[in-house]
């Protein structure tokens, strides 16, 4: 993963990050420290990195820092600051920030100390500033383009099987990355097992015999994703939320449930799969009862 590659060198590189460094790099470093991807988990350092980029107006950083304040992760919980950061990101067109505003309250004027304007540097009229060269990342690089060999073998299985289920392989890989980090032996406290963390009921529902078998597990996960995408008429965020919390929870709240784990899960999946909508087969299942005709996206 591209982010993991940044994170693996973060201990050495973070000290060299300056205000002139591309904000996207700061966000990638923050993500690595927030979730412990390639480095030791350090929410406080993640918040500082997000704030550096947020101060320069990066909406993804503003949203991520707002999320940390909304959940008290690495910083003291402060809904007013979270609301202000979400509002700034939403004003820049950040869809997740617009949704998050519904869960926090505030006058949108509070900001963390780290976002106060910088003091201007001392003037140096006789010395011309050295040019700063910044390598700008691609707007949406494929996070699965440079996987290590053992993860690449799993990705190859997904690439081979996904077309039969009409599921974008990148969405399936995003779910695998967040669910199990590509570990076929992964097992949760709720007895979810394998790459796509299938619980016994889901495995039985989609005829999975061996949840630890890579191919069998991926087939079951793809079948479930296909069903969820049809049920929520291609809305990826709702499908991801239901994969984590179940369809009943999404239907009950008529959207992403207000569970911190589920909201964080959806955010992480959407970092890896940036499309809000996904093609679906309307013949598989009737839409969720709370979806109206106008809510359903194109098939």
What does pLDDT average to in each consecutive run of 10 residues of the chain (299 residues)?
A: 37 44 76 82 86 85 88 84 87 84 76 68 54 49 86 96 97 97 94 96 96 97 98 97 96 94 96 94 94 52
Q: In the prediction, which pLDDT does 67 show?
A: 87
Whole-number Å distance between alpha carbons of 273 and 175: 9
Token pair, residue 89, equals: 């990101």
On whether residue 181 sits in a domain, the answer given is yes
Q: Give the torsion sign (CA, 95, 97, 98, 103).
A: positive
Residues with Cβ < 8 Å from 219, sequence gap 6 or more? Answer: 161, 165, 206, 208
Token pair, residue 56, equals: 């320069």
Identify whether residues 218 and 162 lie together within a single domain: yes
Count: domains in the chain: 2
Q: In the prediction, which pLDDT does 22 show?
A: 61
On whether residue 122 sits in a domain, the answer given is no
On whether residue 188 sits in a domain, the answer given is yes
> How big is the chain by its Cα radius of gyration, in Å?
21
**CATH assignment at residue 232:** 1.10.530.10
Identify whether residues 91 and 158 lie together within a single domain: no
On whether residue 283 sits in a domain, the answer given is no
Strand spans (E) along 120-203: none
Q: In the prediction, which pLDDT does 145 show?
A: 84
Q: Which residue is listed with tokens 């098939």?
A: 299
On whether the CB atoms of residues 231 and 296 are closer than 8 A, the answer is no
Q: In the prediction, which pLDDT does 121 show?
A: 55
Of 79, 81, 93, 5, the closest CA to residue 50 belongs to 81
Identify whether residues 181 and 233 lie together within a single domain: yes
Token pair, residue 129, equals: 């500033």
CA angle 177, 181, 183 (to 5 degrees): 130
On whether the CB atoms of residues 168 and 273 are closer than 8 A, the answer is yes
Q: In the prediction, which pLDDT does 111 show?
A: 82
Identify whether residues 102 and 186 lie together within a single domain: no
On whether residue 68 sits in a domain, the answer given is yes
User: Of these residues, 135, 179, 261, 276, which one is catalytic?
Assistant: 179
Residues with Cβ < 8 Å from 187, sequence gap 6 or more? Answer: 193
On whether residue 92 sits in a domain, the answer given is yes
Compute φ and ψ for 124, nearest 5 degrees.
Answer: -135, 75
**Packing angle, helices 169-180 and 260-272, rounded to 10:** 140
179 classed as catalytic = yes
Of 290, 267, 273, the closest CA to residue 64 belongs to 267
On whether the CB atoms of residues 232 and 288 are closer than 8 A, the answer is yes
Give the number of other Cβ atoms within 10 Å of residue 104's Cβ. 20
On whether residue 144 sits in a domain, the answer given is no
Range of 22's domain?
2-115
End of a domain among 95, 115, 135?
Answer: 115
Whole-number Å distance between alpha carbons of 258 and 100: 10
On whether residue 142 sits in a domain, the answer given is no
On whether the CB atoms of residues 183 and 195 are closer than 8 A, the answer is yes
């Amino acid at each position: 993963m591209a982010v993991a590659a940044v994170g693996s060198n973060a201990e050495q590189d973070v000290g060299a990050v300056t205000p002139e460094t591309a904000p996207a790099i700061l966000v990638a470093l923050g993500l690595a420290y927030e979730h412990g991807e390639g480095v030791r988990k350090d929410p406080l350092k993640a918040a500082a990195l997000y704030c550096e980029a947020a101060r320069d107006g990066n909406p993804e950083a503003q949203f991520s820092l707002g999320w940390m304040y909304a959940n008290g992760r690495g910083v003291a919980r402060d809904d007013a600051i979270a609301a202000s950061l979400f509002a700034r990101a939403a004003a820049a067109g950040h869809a997740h920030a617009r949704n998050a505003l519904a869960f926090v309250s505030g006058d949108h004027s509070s900001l963390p100390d780290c976002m106060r304007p910088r003091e201007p540097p001392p003037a140096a009229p006789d010395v011309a500033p050295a040019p700063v060269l910044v390598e700008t990342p691609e707007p949406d690089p494929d996070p699965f383009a440079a996987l290590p060999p053992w993860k690449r073998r799993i990705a190859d299985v997904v690439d081979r099987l996904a077309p039969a289920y009409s599921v974008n392989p990148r969405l399936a890989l995003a779910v695998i990355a967040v669910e199990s980090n590509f570990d076929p032996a992964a097992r949760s406290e709720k007895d979810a097992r394998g790459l796509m963390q299938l619980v016994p009921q889901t495995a039985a529902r989609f005829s999975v015999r061996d949840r630890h078998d890579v191919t069998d597990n991926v087939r079951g996960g793809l079948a479930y994703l296909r069903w969820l995408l049809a049920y929520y008429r291609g809305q990826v965020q709702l499908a991801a939320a239901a994969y984590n919390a179940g369809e009943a929870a999404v239907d009950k709240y008529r959207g992403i449930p207000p569970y911190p784990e589920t909201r964080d899960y959806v955010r992480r999946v959407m970092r890896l799969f940036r499309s809000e909508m996904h093609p679906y087969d309307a013949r598989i299942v009737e839409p969720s009862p709370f979806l109206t005709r106008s809510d359903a996206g194109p098939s």
